[in-house]
């Protein structure tokens, strides 16, 4: 990690109004000029934040290249305010769009990990509706989990979990990455249905590179194959990592991510 990255302190952006207002922690590295006037936008996974290995390494790459990098924590994550259990795809999508609008980048490469891949796709859909929006130079999707509440959670719910959702409004399951259990709320699952992307053609208008581990126990690689089927109009590359897990955080995985991100940022300028 560079000394510059260590010295950066987050700023806080208010998102929402009234009781739904929450303070979103964000870090922004300024973009360069000319052909290097492009910024990475990091979109974390479920229960992950902008201080994770992949996010920090992406920022360090931006520093080396002289380009921008925008990172933030969803509400209920990391340094941001708000309750985790209030979180939904719509809520976290709103925060991503507000951060991008506040940062005002000219061109962006969205880099989304796991759930962040879903939010990246929804972010592109929403930005393409706006007249004043940054140009999208590319997407890097790492073990992307679009529609995971519908395709990966709901079909596999046990009777106990279904009853917990009905009676308590949430259910818990052990986490492989934390001593604290994962919590999935009824609001998250219901809201997921309103944010589905794997129902037709997903038009991104930019190159897409998917990195997927074949030993991923959380998001099976068949899910990425399904995503590719919904991206027929775009320049799509799927890299399957035979021994890769869900996190793809080994040195060789990080190097692969950085190489793809650099290529999209500097060689696919719209």
Domain locations along the chain: 3-146+205-267
Identify the architecture of domain 3-146+205-267 in CATH: 3-Layer(aba) Sandwich (3.40)
Tell me the average pLDDT across 243-269.
93
pTM, whole model, 2 decimals? Answer: 0.94
According to the model, what pLDDT value does residue 8 have? 80
Give the mean pLDDT of the chain.
Answer: 94
Q: What is the DSSP letter of 143?
A: S
| Strands 107-113 and 170-173, sheet pairing | unpaired
According to the model, what pLDDT value does residue 3 have? 43
| Distance between CA atoms of residues 199 and 211, nearest Å | 22
Share of the chain above pLDDT 90, in %: 89
In which residue are the tokens 């991008």 written? 100
Distances (CA, A) of 168 to 91, 138, 162, 240: 21, 41, 10, 39
Angle at 268 between CA 26 and CA 99, to 5 degrees: 15
Is residue 183 very low, low, confident or very high in pLDDT (cuts 50, 70, 90)?
Answer: very high
For residue 107, list its beta bridge partners: 135
Is residue 268 very low, low, confident or very high in pLDDT (cuts 50, 70, 90)?
Answer: low
Instruction: Convert the pLDDT of each residue in 19-72 to its tens digit.
Output: 999 999 999 999 988 878 999 999 999 999 999 999 999 999 999 999 999 999
pLDDT(144) > 50: yes
Instruction: Convert the pLDDT of each residue in 199-225 to its tens digit.
Output: 999 999 999 999 999 999 999 999 999
Tell me the average pLDDT across 231-239.
92
């Amino acid at each position: 990690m560079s000394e510059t990255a260590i010295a950066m302190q987050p700023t806080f952006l208010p998102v929402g109004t009234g009781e739904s207002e929450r303070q979103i922690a964000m870090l922004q590295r300024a973009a360069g000029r000319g052909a290097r006037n492009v910024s990475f936008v990091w979109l974390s996974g479920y229960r992950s934040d902008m201080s994770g290995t992949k996010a920090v390494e992406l920022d360090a790459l931006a520093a080396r290249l002289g380009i921008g990098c925008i990172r933030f924590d969803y509400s209920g994550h990391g340094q941001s305010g708000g309750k985790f259990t209030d979180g939904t795809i719509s809520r976290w999508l709103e925060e991503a769009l507000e951060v991008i609008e506040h940062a005002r980048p000219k061109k962006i490469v969205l880099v989304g990990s796991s759930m962040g891949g879903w939010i990246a796709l929804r972010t592109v859909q929403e930005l393409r509706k706006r007249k004043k929006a940054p140009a999208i130079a590319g997407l890097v999707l790492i073990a992307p989990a679009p529609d995971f509440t519908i395709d990966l959670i709901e079909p596999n719910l046990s009777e106990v979990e279904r009853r917990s959702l009905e009676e308590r409004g949430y259910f818990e399951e052990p986490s492989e990455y934390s001593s604290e259990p994962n919590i999935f709320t009824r609001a998250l699952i219901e809201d997921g249905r309103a944010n589905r992307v794997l129902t037709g053609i997903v038009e991104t208008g930019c190159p897409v590179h998917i990195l997927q581990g074949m030993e991923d126990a959380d998001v099976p690689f068949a899910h990425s194959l399904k995503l590719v089927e919904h991206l027929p109009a775009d320049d799509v590359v799927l890299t399957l990592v035979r021994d890769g897990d869900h996190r793809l955080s080994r040195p060789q995985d990080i190097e692969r991510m950085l190489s793809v991100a650099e290529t999209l940022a500097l060689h696919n300028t719209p």
